[in-house]
Amino acid sequence: MQNYFQTLLEQAKQEIGEGVSPAQLEALRIKYLGKKGAISQGLAQMGKMPQEARKEVGVVANQVKAEVEALLASAMERAEDLALEASLKGPKVDIGLPGRLRSHGHRHPVSQTMDDIVDIFIGMGFGVEEGPEVELDWYNFEALNFLENHPARDMQDSFYVHPKGFAEDIGPMVLRTHTSPVQVRTMQAHPPPIRAIMPGRVYRRDFDITHTPMFHQVEGLFVDKDVSMADLKGTLNAFLRAFFGQEVKTRFRASFFPFTEPSAEVDISCVMCEGAGCRVCKMSGWLEILGAGMVHPNVLLAAGYNPQEVTGFAFGMGVERTAMLRYGMGDLRSLFENDIRFLAQF
């Protein structure tokens, strides 16, 4: 058996020589040192030998194993050095070349528009209020003077989270259809005077070229003594000129909303044709931009105010529509596709 191990050592020295690749060295390691390798097979035969001979052969076997391990380690180190040298002699990299720059993200036009609207009203002395997007039916409809059979309360128009409410004492809950509930919550939380805007997401069952199930609104509220329609017109005229430019013209048309009386639709001169008439404004020269009016006495009562002592005005606008008019977009759905090429234009 001693001759067996000595023969293995000589054979290993011949095979583990110059120019052997790392993969070949791994194969040789398995051949000699693996669980089923030549040295392990020799050690397995030692069990049949006498006790005294087994001790002598074991010493030789351990020496051979140690030498083969040293040969493999030395050869692997040489192979790695050769591989590194070969890579250094390969194609050179010009580290002075500029790297691949990542393109910067772009502020979404809806976010830009909302921020600009908020900034203008903050400059006019308005605060910013927020409220829950999952709202009680009472705040979303009842407190805002919606009749029980109003079409907006139908299941096909609103997203009801739970028609009967999570408990019998709180009533139905709905994804808010406007940010007007924040007006009621603000009045309940603060005594007059109040001057605030309410930006946020709202939800309705609608989806086409000009509507989406989720969109954004900015509403405003001003309540104090002796607030009049003239205050409303002056505030909105100042805002629209700050947002669209001093040359924009405005007009107020009588309308109806359950939560305001009197109510008005507000138009601006077409930003595409400057009032001359085009396809966008249907040759009228005007574009509807927002709704407004004097806060209905029933809304003031629901919020705990005395309509004999205070009055107020409210207004609201869709941010997506405002962004479309500002940037000349043709399809509302393009705002929600997150195409970086589209967003980069703004």
Confidence (pLDDT) at 154:
66
Residue 219 has a pLDDT of 95
What pLDDT does 307 receive?
A: 93
The reported pLDDT for the residue numbered 230 is 95
What is the per-residue pLDDT for 304?
93
- Please tell me the predicted confidence (pLDDT) of residue 130: 94
Return the domain boundaries, the chain. Answer: 2-88, 109-343
CA distance linking residue 346 with residue 337, whole number of Å = 15
| The CATH number, out of the four listed (3.40.630.40, 3.30.930.10, 3.30.420.40, 3.30.1490.20), of the domain defined by the range 109-343 | 3.30.930.10
pTM for this entry: 0.66
Q: Can you give the pLDDT of all 346 residues of the chain as single tens digits? A: 667 777 777 777 777 776 677 788 788 778 877 877 777 777 777 767 776 677 777 777 778 788 888 888 888 888 888 777 877 777 777 778 787 877 777 788 899 999 999 999 999 999 999 999 999 988 999 899 887 777 766 656 788 887 555 555 677 888 999 999 999 999 999 999 999 999 999 998 876 666 678 889 999 999 999 999 999 999 999 999 999 988 889 999 999 999 999 999 999 998 878 777 887 778 888 989 999 999 999 999 999 999 999 999 999 999 988 988 888 776 777 788 878 888 888 7
Give me the pLDDT at residue 76, please.
83
- Structure confidence at residue 237 (pLDDT): 95
